[in-house]
Structure 1
Amino acid sequence: MDIYFQDVGFTYQKGTPFESKAIYDIDLSIKDGSFTSIVGHTGSGKSTVLQHLNALKKPTEGTVTIGGRVITNASDNKGLKSLRKKVGIVFQFPEAQLFEETVGKDIAFGPKNFGSTEEEGLLKARELLPLVGLDETFMDRSPFDLSGGQMRRVAIAGVLALEPEVLVLDEPTAGLDPQGRKEIMTMFYDLYKNKGLTIILVTHQMDDVAAYSDHMIVLEKGTVMKEGHPKEIFKEADWLASMQLGVPSTVKFARELEKKFDWTFDSLPLTTDELAEQIINRLPSNGGGSL
């Protein structure tokens, strides 16, 4: 399911003395089956764009097209519920939204809200637990007796229970240690590859953008500044710095190697595996240059 923004703007409290334009002239495209990252420093408009991705907000100006549905400021709110089933959003610290007495019931809540029976919802919960790294023994446990990481996985399962075509992730690794961050992002990438989900990642973690994304959108002061493949955008480290954004640690290390050894990499390495492969190819035993 493709998503397009055309000339999209949004103003909070429009028509009042307190009106504030959050985004303007937004043109972007997110293709079905892509893993897209949206980046930008605080205040760039990421959160407002995110809330347009499943019509939590309607544009003040322009149009948002989600699949075959065109949303404008005049769109009827009553017709948007089915759209929110297709585009699931995992908000920051989703574990704060848990409320049921058992894990199974919490995951089943969404399907029940869309017409499933409790039995169908619980069956869906049982099927989803392994996908988020938990087993069936969690079904009857209280979500509030779990660790923070486990609670987050339950909350994610609750979003997946609606069987969305698009999964929007708002800083999904916030508050996690490096190992927890890696586990969560690996889980999302497996869902992307094995379930055919379109993933939209809103993040400050440039290493995650480099490791998982095939499309990148840079926001600044409420509008899109660049859109393209991460490999192309991360080449412009000085420009990103002017946007108060960094580059992945692998890119930073590659640039240091280029300066120290007067190298030019064949292509910008975004992951440690890509960097290691290019370094190995430069070793004398492999016919490369000297260190």
Structure 2
Amino acid sequence: MDIRFEEVGYTYQPGTPFQSRALHDINLTIKDSSFTAIVGHTGSGKSTVLQHLNALKKPTSGQVTIGDRVITNFSENKGLKSLRKKVGIVFQFPEAQLFEETVGKDIAFGPKNFGLSEEEGLEKARELLPLVGLDETFMERSPFDLSGGQMRRVAIAGVLALEPEVLVLDEPTAGLDPQGRKEIMDMFYTLYKEQGLTVVLVTHQMDDVATYADHMIVLEKGTVMKEGHPRELFKEAGWLSSMQLGVPSTVRFAHELEEKFEWIFDPLPLTTDELAQQMKDKLASKAGEGL
């Protein structure tokens, strides 16, 4: 299921003294089965775009097409609930949304809200726990007795319980240590590859963009400045810096090696494995030249 923005604009509190334009002239496509990263500094419009992905907000101008459903400023709210099932959003610090007395009941809440019986909802919760790295023993535990990372996994399972076609992640690793961040992102990538989910990642973590995304959209002042494959956009380190954005640590190190040793990396390495392999090849070539 594709999601397409066409000339989308959004204004908060229009027609009042507090009117504020958040988005203008947004044109972008989230392709089915893609892993798309949306980046931009604070105030660039990321959160507002995110809320248009499942019609939590309707555009002030232009239109958003979600699958075969077209959303404009004049769209009726009736029937939008089904879109929330197709496009699941994991908000920043999702563990703050937990409220049920057991993990199983919390995960089952969404499916029950869409018509499943309590027994069916609990069975779905039981099936989902392994997908988020938890086992069946968590079913009867209170979510409030878990660690922060475990609580986040339960909240994510609650979104997955609705069987979305698109999973939107709003800074999903905020507040986690490096190991916890890697575990969560690896989990999302596994879901993307094995479950066929379309994933939209809103993040400041450029290392995550480099490692996982196959498409990257850069927002600035409420509109799309550039988009493309991360490998192409990360070549423009100076331009990204002007947008108050950085580059992945691997790319930064590769640029430093290019300057110091006059090496040329082609293609630009995005991960440590890619960088290590190219360095190994270059050093072997230099050794061969010295023989």
Partner of 2:156: 156
Partner of 2:129: 129
CA distance in 2, matches of 1:203, 1:236: 19
Aligned residues: 290
> Does structure 1 residue 203 correspond to structure 2 residue 186?
no
List gaps (5 residues or longer) in structure 2.
none
> Does structure 1 residue 262 correspond to structure 2 residue 258?
no
Partner of 1:99: 99
Q: What TM-score results when the alignment is normalised by the length of structure 2?
A: 0.98
* SS of match in other structure, 2:29: strand
For residue 110 of structure 1, what is the amino acid of its counterpart? G
Residues 280, 286 of structure 1: 8 Å contact kept: no
CA drift of 1:165 comes to 0.2
Partner of 1:14: 14
Residues 5, 65 of structure 1: 8 Å contact kept: yes
> Does structure 1 residue 146 correspond to structure 2 residue 154?
no
Partner of 1:33: 33
CA distance in 2, matches of 1:284, 1:155: 48
For residue 236 of structure 1, what is the amino acid of its counterpart? E
For residue 17 of structure 2, what is the amino acid of its counterpart? P
> Does structure 1 residue 173 correspond to structure 2 residue 173?
yes
Q: What do residues 82-118 of structure 1 show as CA deviations (whole Å, max 9, x unaligned)?
A: 0110000000000000000000000000000000000
Partner of 2:250: 250
* SS of match in other structure, 2:78: helix
CA distance in 1, matches of 2:137, 2:228: 43
* SS of match in other structure, 1:232: helix
Q: What TM-score results when the alignment is normalised by the length of structure 1?
A: 0.98
Identical-pair percentage: 83
CA drift of 1:284 comes to 2.9
Partner of 1:62: 62
Partner of 1:228: 228
Residues 108, 121 of structure 1: 8 Å contact kept: yes
CA distance in 1, matches of 2:51, 2:83: 13
CA drift of 1:285 comes to 6.0
CA drift of 1:15 comes to 1.0
CA distance in 1, matches of 2:48, 2:232: 26
For residue 182 of structure 2, what is the amino acid of its counterpart? K
List gaps (5 residues or longer) in structure 1.
none
* SS of match in other structure, 1:77: coil
Name which of structure 1's ranges 123-132 and 12-21 shifts more when overlaid on structure 2: 12-21
* SS of match in other structure, 2:7: strand
* SS of match in other structure, 1:78: coil
Partner of 1:215: 215
CA distance in 2, matches of 1:285, 1:270: 21
Partner of 1:3: 3
CA drift of 1:283 comes to 1.7
Residues 218, 224 of structure 1: 8 Å contact kept: yes
For residue 209 of structure 1, what is the amino acid of its counterpart? V
Q: What do residues 66-89 of structure 1 show as CA deviations (whole Å, max 9, x unaligned)?
A: 101100001111110001100000
CA drift of 1:266 comes to 1.6
Partner of 1:80: 80
For residue 120 of structure 1, what is the amino acid of its counterpart? E
CA distance in 2, matches of 1:227, 1:70: 23
